[in-house]
Chains A and B, each alone.
Chain A
């Protein structure tokens, strides 16, 4: 029984952290931007909310403030990248480092602010937490955010953002101001992360300066798990998958901590282990084709899932290509670049998409079953 109610709490946490995972999805998958700012902006959101609440402001205002604070953190990373021309990974690490001090300032030098005695957004429903009722309510909230994102990503501006992430050269040639779309997306994503921080602080009853460590990995794990299960062919499934991935991730940690030989302090290595397993499994041919067989919608599609974004933080994602992989192209087309008699490289090569610097992804082991040959 304790295990069951504990699972419900884990599901609750998963749903709250789903907002963070959706933010990570926006940067990593939509924008193709390896943004590690998350670890810090989460704390910024939590700290801001905690300060607002201890100063007697309403929990709703505190959550809003947390979201805005997170968005400002994202703005810093965006400016470092767009104006400072710093690589995304480095820009976000720099922001993360700098924000640590800012977060301590927000918390007036205290490493931890307790909200146990304060009125938080969960105070009215405290006794219902860990029940199906609260799980349902939170699921509804996450669904609302997903619906908004779904709408947003299909607007003119949303499509521009997706073009920037998918093929910046093409986007720019159609008048999309890439720097602006990147900035807005980073602010939006880190706004969601700050929002998550603000909610988690109230849920846990404290804000802690170290509370964000490793959260980027939690977010990534959710994105990878979710997209491996539901695919990315349809945006709605991709977003629902991310939320689902977050719940699975929290449940997995919860259950792992129940194992007899595991201590609570092993939490971090378990998180890391789950991410490793998710990454490895999502690249495995057998697992992915198995998933493809399970999913009816996959069979209708003639596209193997383009998992070009299995994030490899050490690959230059900034310069990553906006193209399907060689293997995909080959499996779909009669057309073979190598067979062309014409010159295929340009001497200036300024606009040619880089053939090098492609993130090491799961190019070669993509299932290509059931793909129709297509040609002009």
Chain B
């Protein structure tokens, strides 16, 4: 489904601020894989998602989606198959457009947008049904502007917009980090359900080890632009937060030694 080969990305190359964001990432995702990604700040997690989405061009390496090389495609052309939910609840929706208008923009992902009415009776019906699955009562407020919704509601709508057209790959970039624990839990439950029901291939960045273990069938641990540890479908169900912390501490020590030796 998704294949990354030897991805390198350096920010501010050749300056004092040079930062090696990604250093040789190799990753192979099968259809239906749900990968959680953990790692400290600056580990390259978000950069990895941005690179997959096409927001950031890579310096080196190849990205393939469904065996199609997309390395050079701009973001809006990759968006045909890639959906995203951002950390900021305000980033994934258009605040001055109504809920149904936002959903309409999401519905036409990957299609040519011509002069068909954006909101038709049949589309409205579909939106109503999709919104009802969130269980937030938003199906009765489809004419309201999205900017009126709370952070949790907006994030739920973002998630719906990203997923209801069944994209090839769903990218979740700490999408519960800006929510309070209660709403984070709600959005997380929705995430789990949407991914399971539609069998989406997904990558989720999180800082919450417990979330990282509870969701998904695979886990990646990143540090300083590298994938330093992977848990597959076999190991992941057994792993605990303490295991992860242990792995992380040892990996950190190992890496800083290596950095020193370099």
Contact = CB atoms under 8 A, between A and B. Distances in A.
Interface of A: 152, 154-160, 162-163, 166-167, 169-178, 233, 302-303, 306, 322-324, 328-329, 332-335, 337, 339-344, 346-348, 350-353, 374-376
A350 B50 contact: yes
Given A167-B94, A170-B93, A348-B47, A303 B148 contact: yes
Contact of B152 (A160, A323, A376): A376
A21 B53 CA distance: 38
A173 B56 contact: no
Q: Give the 6 A-B residue pairs with the shortest CB-CB distance, closest first.
A: A175-B79, A324-B147, A156-B113, A335-B151, A333-B150, A323-B90
15 contacts: A154-B117, A156-B115, A157-B114, A167-B95, A171-B76, A173-B53, A173-B92, A233-B145, A306-B96, A332-B150, A335-B151, A346-B173, A351-B50, A353-B91, A376-B183
Given A167-B91, A173-B83, A346-B174, 16 more contacts: A159-B105, A159-B108, A162-B101, A167-B95, A174-B79, A174-B105, A176-B113, A303-B147, A335-B179, A337-B178, A340-B179, A343-B41, A343-B174, A348-B46, A353-B90, A353-B91
A324 B90 CA distance: 8
B86 interface: yes
A212 to B, nearest CB: 30
B88 to A, nearest CB: 6
B179 A175 contact: no
A320 to B, nearest CB: 12
A335 B163 CA distance: 24
A12 B124 CA distance: 40
A299 B55 CA distance: 42
B80 to A, nearest CB: 6
A343 B207 contact: yes
Contacts of A324: 90, 95-96, 147
A234 to B, nearest CB: 10
A340 B150 contact: no
A157 B111 CA distance: 11
Interface string B161-196: 100000000000110111111011010000000000
A151 B108 CA distance: 18
A138 to B, nearest CB: 27
Nearest to A333: B150
Contact of A332 (B41, B88, B148): B148
Contacts of A334: 150
Contacts of A171: 76, 94, 105
Contact of A350 (B55, B96, B116, B186): B55
Given A346-B46, A346-B87, A160 B105 contact: yes
B94 A176 contact: no
B118 A158 contact: yes
Contact of B84 (A173, A341, A347): A173
Nearest to A158: B118
A170 B149 contact: no
Contacts of A303: 144-145, 147-148
B152 A375 contact: yes
B76 A172 contact: yes
A348 B51 CA distance: 12
A344 B91 contact: no
Interface in B89-130: 90-97, 101-102, 104-106, 108-111, 113-119
